[in-house]
Structure 1
Amino acid sequence: MIERSSIKRHPADMWGAHFLPGMLLLPTFLCALAADFPFTAPLDLDVTPRVTVLSSGLQGCRRFRSSAVPISTMLLQDDSERLYVGAQGAAFALNASDISASPPLSIEWEASSEKKSLCLLKGKDNKTECFNHIRLLQRFNSTHLYMCGTHAFWPLCAYIEEKTFVMSSDPEEGRDKCPHGPKTGYTAVIIDQQIYTASQYDFWSFPDIRRNSPSPVLRTEDAPTRWLNEAEFVGSALVRESLGSSNGDDDKIYFFFTEKSQEQTTSSSHSRVARVARVCKGDRGGRLTLQKRWTSFLKARLTCSVPEFDFHFNMLRSVFVMHGLTPQDTLFYGIFGLEWKNVKASAVCRFPLSEVQEAFEGPYMENEDSGTTWKEYVGKIPDPRPGTCITDDLRSKGINTSTSLPDDVLDFVRRHPLMSKQVQSADRRPLLFRRATDYTQMAAQVVQGLDEQMYHVLYMGTDEGWLHKAVDIKGQLHIIEELQLFEQPVPVISVLISSNKRGVYIGSPSGVVQLPLSNCIRYSSCYDCIFARDPHCAWNGAECVDMMTQSNRSNLIQDILHGRTGCESTRYDVVQRSRSVRVGDDVLLQCELSSNLATPLWTLDGSQVQGYDLSSGFRTGTDGLLIIEARHDQSGLYTCHAVENNVKVAVVTYNVSISLDLPPPPHTKKFNIITTLPAPTVHPSSDGAHTLLLLSPRNMEAIYLSLITVLGGLCFVLTVVLAYVGFCLRTGQRGKYSLRAAAAAHPSSKRSSRCKKQHRISSSMELKTISSHCNGICNGVSKPRNEDLQDGGFLQIVPGEGQTSMNNETPPPAPPLPPTPQHTSQECDFPNGLSATLPSVLRRMNGNSYVLLRQSDSENTSPLSHTFSEELSRILEKRKHTQLLPRPDESSV
């Protein structure tokens, strides 16, 4: 928006000019501190998405909606032609190429009426909980899927024949495989027809990690040391760490969760911490000690923090495992949040497998007397090392299975499940930090760039239904774009990627959205394509194309590392416009930037325009350039440049001609008032013509003295108001405020007659557009000249109408407000450069809107003829009908 205008001050007003703004800014400053409490993030981590795309602008988008909502789980395998969706009382098999293709295969699986009745007797909600919510839907073998549902707090599971997508057997008991409730933290993975799950399985049990099938069934230990403490599970994954082994004896399953801190001391500030736990895939439990319990269970803390501020993100929300070419290349990407529920913020941290292994090979923690005090164990560690898997090395020593482990080893595992060393994130800091954003789910893939380097591209869903696409560049995330998936805010519950289908699938409780991995055609120029830094996209000399579709890459241009080189010799089109205005007019030259990371730079005949000097005559903002009271020497070629990544690119040029043939009307006093009203709009008058609201700066002495006087005497004003109310009550007269639209006056009408028709209003405060001139026809309506643009079409508050009813009759309802101007497809370019049709979506950066007020002066009017409260009432009434932004951002409130 346009920056604040300068105000000429009388020397006697200097004290008020400095003291009052400081008093007004003090509450704003305190509010800003409160908003940032309890942390302030490094500027290089609080990343802004480069491009914002609303749901109406999504390209290649396909959707799936069903009456069976909410959706709870999704399954996609890259070599499969189907996307499986589990919902409330049903499961679906969608076409992975086009999820909107109908009809999909489906399985209806509602909870029985008997189970629903029992659920109600347990005190559960019959609108959300007493249904069959599908919580597990995964591949069991090459021919069947396995599905589990809550079944109204009585979990059941069933096998599904994949080809026909029907149940191949009757449902079986699922209490040890599926939680009872739809919102309970839960994760599951099926490996070699063995089902590993982690959850709080019913409302009276403790959280548990279990292997349910085949026998033997294993679980975690509760005594004497509880291995899990109020854990909320978010994910699990198999990592095949057996190098050169035919039976995978060292493969491990990793579980990720948040639990109550066991290291809590008097100096600790966190009650919950993020954890990673592991068990060996070949674990069979102990013979006597730890019978039917894990003998390989260990856990360690995941640390995602900003070291400069000693600030920790200790709530793990989601995790994605990026498998590499070798087990050591495995990466764990985690989404972390804050423990304070009233503060929205997210961080993304990355953990190499080597860091996790180092923590599990380090020292143990011990708990003294089963209390809450944990400290590092310094005693002797038994052999073989507790928590290790049974490998060929141990078999050579006569230990063939976990049941052969010595009792001292098993007893040590029972009492020392926690590791002392914490798992540190890569580079010891987050890859990304976002204020006011709660990421919920994510997925990632590896893309090879034109420079032969491998880049990790992340897709992250938010709690309000947005998808952020980002690329990991040397340990920091660059957000390429943010996409609005749903018009109504809903949380993203699942993000899946298919390299074969070249699509990303986003699940929410209300439905599923399918999008292409990248939409390169959105970038219309070489610089726009390069600035995006999208590994999928490159410039071929004519357009931005998807690299995966190009067999010949010799002529492609791409710069992921820096995002600024390659387009120096490329030609591009610049929008050219012309403006002819009169001396004294205020000219607004608009410049919309498609990138949120770009800043505008204006030049006049090749020289940079300085819009911050008080005497420059210019005001610059993120939306355009304002020429204040145009002078003849300000004519010339104005160019708006977008500056991004230290590269200046011309966006639009204006050939501005300022003529002297039409001087401004005489006897007009102008002044500036800085306010937070939105940009001016066109209001319809009663005769159908558009009345333009005009604002301009000059001669502030009188109004500024009046403003200071009123602000300094607020108590006096309140006293006068109370006296006036008392007088009305004593005389039995009651004032009535009437809200009416003043009719547009005929050009030959006199000001005195208009004042009589409007109940003796002494003078008029007019709100107009930047310029009072509009020649030609706009939307089929002839625009009046400057002398016609007077009191028509604005709302006035008229006190004193109406009489007090002596019989307590109900007062008549207030007249309806005038209709809001409708947007049309036609556009009127005024001579000063302001369009009647403004952009439908304005940038939300530095979003303060400022308007200028012009007061018409006549022989019998004075700037002091109105009280401040009267003028303020009129401004507030007009403000209701001049909103441009559908949702104003914080800086404009």
Structure 2
Amino acid sequence: MGCAAVMQVLLLTYCVFVAAGYPFKTPLDLDVTPRITVFNRGLRGCRRFQSSTVNYSTMLLEADSEHLYVGARGVVYRLNASDISATSALTINWEVSSDQKQQCLLKGKDNETECFNHIRFLQRFNSTHLYTCGTHAFRPLCAYIDEQKFVISAQPEEGKDKCPYGPTTGYTALIIDQQMYSASQYEFRSFPDIRRNSPPPTLRTEDAPTRWLNEADFVGSALVRESLSSSTGDDDKIYFFFTERSQEQTTAYSSSRVARVARVCKGDRGGRLTLQKRWTSFLKARLMCSLSEYDFHFNMLRSVFVVPGQTPQDTLFYGIFGLEWKNVKASAVCRFSLTEVQEAFQGPYMENQDSGSNWKEYMGKIPDPRPGTCITQALRARGINDSTSLPDDMLDFLRRHPLMSQKIQPADRRPLLFRRTTHYTQLAVHMVQSLDGQTYTVLYMGTDEGWLHKAVEIDGQLHLIQELQLFEEPQPVNNLLISAQQMSVYVGSPSGVLQLSLSDCQRYTFCYDCVFARDPHCAWNGAQCVDIMTQSDRSTLIQDIQFGSRGCENVQHDVMQRSRSVRVGDDLLLQCELSSNLATPLWTLDGSEVQGYDLNSGLRIGTDGLLIIEAQQDQSGLYTCHGVENNVKVPVLSYNVTVNPNLPPLPPLEPHEEPQDLVPTLPAPTEHTSAERPVPPPVAPLLPRSELLSPRNMEAIYLSLITILGSLCVVLTTVLVYVGFCLRVGQRGKYSLRAASAAYPCSRRHSKNRRAARSSSNMELKTISNHHNGNGVCNGGSKQQNGDVHDGGLLQIVPGGGHTSLNTGPPPPAPPLPPTPQHLPSHCDFPSGLSATLPSVLRRMNGNSYVLLRQSDSETSSPVCYSFSEELNRILEKRKHTQLLPRPDESSV
């Protein structure tokens, strides 16, 4: 089958699936956008601890302790919990010898990662000692640490039954009443196992005739003291969370990997004959975290956090789930109640009669006492005081039926949060009581690229308050701990440990900004946004977590005002970049709303500003930019615009004329603030005019662009899947788009999908643009020269031709462009010694692209250039975060 035929079949298949709504539907209502984005350079109050070692994977923080214990590769640290960057850190070096490293190499292990002593376990053993275990170059060892002296108090002991061999093997462990419970794949070729190691009796899971764990990858464990206030004399239980290969095969849905929770009783001592030295209380059930209406099933459990309630029955489990496909990034957060888990363990069992993978619900008689139950008062009344007295028929049934049929559903039967293009790795939960008396759940979630998301649970869904870039270079978050006493969150990573405040209230600069955040930690005190935990008098504080819109109606805030002057016939760009990703722009002229979608209005509204095309005298007035968030309109910035009628518009250029020839003869538009003297800004080169840009042809070009761009999106999607079949796809009449080289100022933006946009015409477009973050954190803030900061813009359109060749060689050279200096990518300087900068507002504004001829701004950030691919990527990301105007947008090309 030829390339063209293959593409036609794929395109038809894609259209059929899209029409059917499967599986390309996405739960947009749960795909929440973080309200505030803070880059690494904009972090406030961040403390860091780093040393010569790596892999800070284990942390221990006790509620009443001033110490944070950290286990890394070959070393254990004791840090000051109030300030981890202080120089008072104590160190225990626990490296492997050269002989042990050589033995590790002989086993075929990696000398760069595996043949070291990675600390995998670090917990308190008693009031005087800690207990730690390390991989020790694929020969695990464990040791006691004297807390007072902070030294290893005795010779390390064998740890192969307590600690995994490798640094990345799934593992979880607890010390409960000086007994160690652990779950992992311990030995090199052993099966996964849940064990109680010491002191005796030691217990483990069964592997024959029915294997209880099937390639399990453990992520967490928790003790729930269900014996407290129990009316039945129940036992405490230990819950283990993991992902394993599926044993159920159903017609409705099947998957190779599923998320599980398993349970054992703390007082379990094993059976007398049957299940000797094996758990007699082991049961497991499936955790469901899915969007069934969209057929999204999150099978991979990555992290679990247990939130104790006022009673054991109020215990909640929060889990981070991912998709089974490694090349698809997506995450979901689901919450489960202990009551739902207990109901599943009281439900029907699954059975496997043919020793294959076809498990189905057991419909036969269930032995008495019920298999998997703990010892209760009712059993003690029958003479069964511990597990060794349980009857053999009951234990034999449990041996063959460890899996429960009932699936454990999350609260509200759907996730609290769904995030595309995000891979969450760790989770920590903090309970905060707000001013309205309610207790809110605040979640901190780390990603595989080193970002920390803070969210609050409101009415069964999560509102993402902010996202923080923790590192300049992407790296995963390995561990998260929260200290309510220190009001800090601690982050472990491959390169070090970070300490951040639980709140970031000072980032919000006015009342509505503080209220819009919906952060339970923050409230407005009349002058600034403050942490409520630091306020003794809370009677005058303003906070609205439920709606994020009330309380600031009578609070005034200063609105920055600027003045702009422009000659008749010129284009004018009024910048207004909103700091909130959830806000949409709204512009007014002398109090009346500006309509930016009418083709003949001469105005275009975009996500970052307002563009006045060929300004006329009647367009003078006071333009005010408002941010609309949570149905509240808040003024952000005002421009007093004057269109000068005394300067005539420039005559159109002849085809043979060069734009820069006319630049020295043109007076420049001016801009100044209301409190400053007007300062003449630099002038950007003019662009040749084209009949193609006449209003008569705009509508036809716009429709053509939309049609071709839509087709290209479909084609590009299928090409990603079948790139092995076709490496080049020829089409007629494309735009040839080339981006001037530029530097991207931020180390990372949101995770983006790279796309290319083309359309049929006989033109070549060259776009130059820049961006600055509204919070002043990208590039470390604005750079000023002589007290002013200038922005400008340029889009050059020159005659050209689209290329349709499928040759793998380099494309033929494009027609010559107006000359620019060699250092353009670094400083964006232009001919005649004039410097112009380009604001971030040169994006696709309200669905259109624009030609910005001349403009300057005295209070915006310094110039930074962008390539066209980066600019297009930012357009697509911004459009996802912004609600466009209600009417169809028109082309201005």
Alignment of 1:818 with 2:849, yes or no, is no
Supply the distance in 2 between the matched residues of 1:573 and 1:341 (Cα, whole angstroms): 49
- Match of 1:370, SS? coil
- Equivalence for 1:719: none
Alignment of 1:114 with 2:99, yes or no, is yes
Q: CA deviation at 1:155?
A: 0.3
- Match of 2:485, SS? coil
- Equivalence for 1:173: 158
- Equivalence for 1:850: 849
- Match of 1:700, SS? helix
Deviations 1:9-37 (A, max 9, x none): xxxxxxxxxxxxxx9xx99x989979x98
For residues 845 and 306 of structure 1, do their structure 2 counterparts lie closer, same or farther at Cα, with a shift above 3 Å needed?
Answer: farther
AA aligned to 2:464 is I
Query: 1:373 pairs with 349, 353, 358, which one?
Result: 358
- Match of 1:164, SS? coil
Maintained 8 Å contact 2:333/2:417:
yes
AA aligned to 1:302 is L
- Match of 2:197, SS? strand
- Equivalence for 1:350: 335
AA aligned to 1:471 is V
Query: 2:374 pairs with 385, 389, 401, which one?
Result: 389
Maintained 8 Å contact 1:583/1:663:
yes
Supply the distance in 1 between the matched residues of 2:490 and 2:340 (Cα, whole angstroms): 31
- Equivalence for 1:700: 692
For residues 703 and 541 of structure 1, do their structure 2 counterparts lie closer, same or farther at Cα, with a shift above 3 Å needed?
Answer: closer
Maintained 8 Å contact 2:768/2:868:
no
- Equivalence for 2:264: 279
Supply the distance in 2 between the matched residues of 1:206 and 1:293 (Cα, whole angstroms): 15
- Match of 2:262, SS? strand
Query: 2:603 pairs with 595, 614, 618, which one?
Result: 618
Supply the distance in 2 between the matched residues of 1:664 and 1:320 (Cα, whole angstroms): 66
Supply the distance in 1 between the matched residues of 2:342 and 2:766 (Cα, whole angstroms): 72
Q: CA deviation at 1:695?
A: 5.1
Maintained 8 Å contact 1:587/1:630:
yes
- Equivalence for 2:176: 191
- Equivalence for 2:203: 218
Q: CA deviation at 1:251?
A: 0.5
Alignment of 1:126 with 2:111, yes or no, is yes
AA aligned to 2:89 is P
Maintained 8 Å contact 2:794/2:853:
no
Q: CA deviation at 1:665?
A: 2.3
When structure 1 is superposed on structure 2, of 429-438 and 370-379 the one drifting more is 370-379
- Match of 1:529, SS? helix
* Unmatched segments (≥5 aa) in structure 1: 1-22, 671-681, 683-688, 713-739, 742-762, 771-777, 798-814, 827-833, 856-878
Supply the distance in 2 between the matched residues of 1:371 and 1:628 (Cα, whole angstroms): 72
- Largest Rg, 1 or 2: 1
Maintained 8 Å contact 2:607/2:841:
no
After TM superposition, the structure 1 = structure 2 runs for residues 506-525 of structure 1, keeping only pairs within 5 Å, are: 506-525=491-510
AA aligned to 1:374 is W
- Equivalence for 2:53: 68
After TM superposition, the structure 1 = structure 2 runs for residues 744-783 of structure 1, keeping only pairs within 5 Å, are: none
- Match of 1:468, SS? strand
- Equivalence for 1:332: 317
Name the Cα RMSD after superposition.
Answer: 4.0
Q: CA deviation at 1:391?
A: 2.2
Alignment of 1:405 with 2:373, yes or no, is no
Supply the distance in 1 between the matched residues of 2:625 and 2:609 (Cα, whole angstroms): 8
- Match of 2:641, SS? strand
* Unmatched segments (≥5 aa) in structure 2: 1-7, 656-667, 669-680, 706-739, 742-762, 771-783, 802-818, 855-862, 878-893
- Match of 1:423, SS? coil
Maintained 8 Å contact 1:602/1:638:
yes
After TM superposition, the score normalised by the length of structure 1 is 0.77
Query: 1:300 pairs with 276, 281, 285, which one?
Result: 285
Supply the distance in 2 between the matched residues of 1:782 and 1:352 (Cα, whole angstroms): 58
Alignment of 1:889 with 2:893, yes or no, is no
Deviations 1:812-862 (A, max 9, x none): xxx9981246569x9xxxxxxx995666x889998988342889xxxxxxx
Supply the distance in 1 between the matched residues of 2:621 and 2:90 (Cα, whole angstroms): 66
- Match of 2:76, SS? strand
- Equivalence for 1:871: none
- Match of 1:515, SS? strand
Identity of aligned residues (%): 68
Supply the distance in 1 between the matched residues of 2:560 and 2:17 (Cα, whole angstroms): 39
Maintained 8 Å contact 1:232/1:258:
yes
- Match of 2:497, SS? strand
Deviations 1:610-631 (A, max 9, x none): 1111111101100100000001
For residues 283 and 321 of structure 1, do their structure 2 counterparts lie closer, same or farther at Cα, with a shift above 3 Å needed?
Answer: same
AA aligned to 1:576 is Q
AA aligned to 1:819 is H
Supply the distance in 1 between the matched residues of 2:433 and 2:845 (Cα, whole angstroms): 37
Maintained 8 Å contact 1:506/1:514:
yes
After TM superposition, the structure 1 = structure 2 runs for residues 611-760 of structure 1, keeping only pairs within 5 Å, are: 611-668=596-653, 692-694=684-686, 699-700=691-692
Maintained 8 Å contact 1:307/1:428:
no
Maintained 8 Å contact 1:603/1:609:
yes
For residues 415 and 396 of structure 1, do their structure 2 counterparts lie closer, same or farther at Cα, with a shift above 3 Å needed?
Answer: same
Supply the distance in 2 between the matched residues of 1:890 and 1:764 (Cα, whole angstroms): 21
Supply the distance in 2 between the matched residues of 1:149 and 1:769 (Cα, whole angstroms): 52
Maintained 8 Å contact 1:842/1:885:
no
Supply the distance in 2 between the matched residues of 1:573 and 1:880 (Cα, whole angstroms): 29
After TM superposition, the score normalised by the length of structure 2 is 0.77
Deviations 1:159-193 (A, max 9, x none): 00112211010100000000001111101111111
Maintained 8 Å contact 1:611/1:618:
yes
Maintained 8 Å contact 2:794/2:838:
no
For residues 103 and 387 of structure 1, do their structure 2 counterparts lie closer, same or farther at Cα, with a shift above 3 Å needed?
Answer: same
AA aligned to 2:873 is D
Q: How many residues align?
A: 739
Q: CA deviation at 1:882?
A: 5.5
AA aligned to 2:257 is R
For residues 837 and 209 of structure 1, do their structure 2 counterparts lie closer, same or farther at Cα, with a shift above 3 Å needed?
Answer: same
Maintained 8 Å contact 1:847/1:892:
no
Supply the distance in 2 between the matched residues of 1:597 and 1:131 (Cα, whole angstroms): 47
Q: CA deviation at 1:889?
A: 2.1
Maintained 8 Å contact 1:694/1:852:
no
Query: 2:578 pairs with 593, 597, 606, which one?
Result: 593
When structure 1 is superposed on structure 2, of 365-374 and 575-584 the one drifting more is 365-374
